[in-house]
Structure 1
Amino acid sequence: MGAKLLAGDRRKSAGRWLALAASLMLSAAMVHAQNTSPTPDAAAREPGRTSATPAAAPTVTTTGAALLAASAPSEEARVFDYPLAAGVAPESGLQLKTIWVARAISMMFPEIKTIGGYRQDPLKWHPHGLAIDVMIPNYHSDAGIELGNQIAGYALANAQRWGVLHVIWRQGFYPGIGAPSWTADYGNETANHFDHVHIATDGGGYPTGHETYYLGSMQS
């Protein structure tokens, strides 16, 4: 499946294929988790947001969390010295680890043409440069859902390294550490994260301009 996704990109190093294989393993676990039936006491809202009764939407359970953890790539697949150029995300206003995630996703998933970053919002994530929104093309299609699953799984696989605090995709709320849950229904597909994968990090401070980002490490 990874070969089909990136068949036209033969110039990338073998490290890219290893990392993508790991993300595909995680995407399979994500699909399983999102198709699990909801339980009434599993509701959780996006941090800082308030809403009415949660919707009976795609749900994630502790079993799904265990599958994600079990599918995390091995250390051999994580060691990459592959420098990351600036990607499709505007980096102004973003903190270090958020930039790191955005660049890695831009390099790993060339299908992604738009990544939102800094913007005003009632919650802290975007105004403080702590989050990106990875816009999924054709997000209603099976291929679009699969791509979103892969990106969400890839971010979670690297949560410890990149300081990922949570991922939200198709109303599934996935903490970097801990059991996943589900979000309320906020009234439209964008607010419910059906057209984009929201990835929040712990920031790491603002860049000085002397940083070099790699898939497996960052130097400043």
Structure 2
Amino acid sequence: MSNRTRLAISAATASVTLALAAGTFAVGTTPVSSGVVESQSAAVQQTTSTALLSGNAPKAKVHNYKRLTKKAKKVANKVRNDWRAIKSIGGWRAGSRYSGDHPGGRAIDVMIPKWKKNSRLGWSIAKYFAKKKNAKKYKIHYVIFRQKIWTVQTPRWRKMANRGGATANHFDHVHVSVKR
């Protein structure tokens, strides 16, 4: 891709973003970046406009993705594709106070943005993976959110003991563990 094409894509993206923010974008219009780019290809305009209008926000970053098991990667990818409001997913980490799932690459932590006001987003993710057919499809072992746990062995939401804080009690993230 040439520098001119990259510049055209950047300019088109910026113009469409500003137009969307201002509420003035109409499908079929030609975004132009204050004389920086004189002409843009129709393909660049269409791709940029379609991507921004369809809500294709950037996908969440999954930390230590490569060290996750195939099953955990499948869960992380589902979250990344279907819940674009999510910006960060914790994956593998060396230690865990409560289980071997993170060190084993079998767990993810879906971080909920503005979690104090956004529990509905977290519950939509937690309940999705706790649904019987989805738990079977994704090989879910258990799900924790807002100090409640759902397991395959006891498939209902139950209160957990207080672990002392928002993160330890899973108020700011949904923890999803998959089977071995």
- Amino acid across the alignment from 1:198: H
* Counterpart residue number, 1:170: 146
- Amino acid across the alignment from 1:121: S
Rounded Cα–Cα distance in structure 1 between residues aligned with 2:101 and 2:78: 19
Task: Give the TM-score taking structure 1 as reference length.
Answer: 0.51
Show the 5 A alignment for 1:99-118.
99-118=73-92
1:95 correspondence with 2:52:
no
Shift of 1:126: 0.2
Shift of 1:9: 3.0
The alignment of Structure 1 onto Structure 2 pairs a total of residues equal to: 121
Shift of 1:175: 1.0
Which consecutive unaligned segments of at least 5 residues does structure 1 have? 1-7, 12-85, 204-220
Rounded Cα–Cα distance in structure 2 between residues aligned with 1:201 and 1:104: 13
Provide runs of 4+ in structure 1 moved above 4 Å: none
1:200 correspondence with 2:174:
no
* Counterpart residue number, 1:134: 110
Alignment check: 8 A CA contact 2:60 2:86 kept: no
1:146 correspondence with 2:120:
yes
Structure whose alpha-carbon radius of gyration is higher: 2
- CA gap of 1:121–1:10, structure 2 versus 1, over 3 A, is closer
Alignment check: 8 A CA contact 1:87 1:103 kept: no
SS, match of residue 133 in structure 1: strand
* Counterpart residue number, 1:9: 54
* Counterpart residue number, 2:96: 121
- CA gap of 1:121–1:174, structure 2 versus 1, over 3 A, is same
* Counterpart residue number, 2:43: none
Which consecutive unaligned segments of at least 5 residues does structure 2 have? 1-52
SS, match of residue 166 in structure 1: strand
1:189 correspondence with 2:166:
yes
Show the 5 A alignment for 1:151-162.
151-157=125-131, 158-162=134-138
- Structure having greater relative contact order (Cα 8 Å, sep ≥ 6): 1
Shift of 1:10: 6.1
Rounded Cα–Cα distance in structure 2 between residues aligned with 1:195 and 1:161: 26
SS, match of residue 92 in structure 1: helix
SS, match of residue 147 in structure 1: helix
Shift of 1:106: 0.5
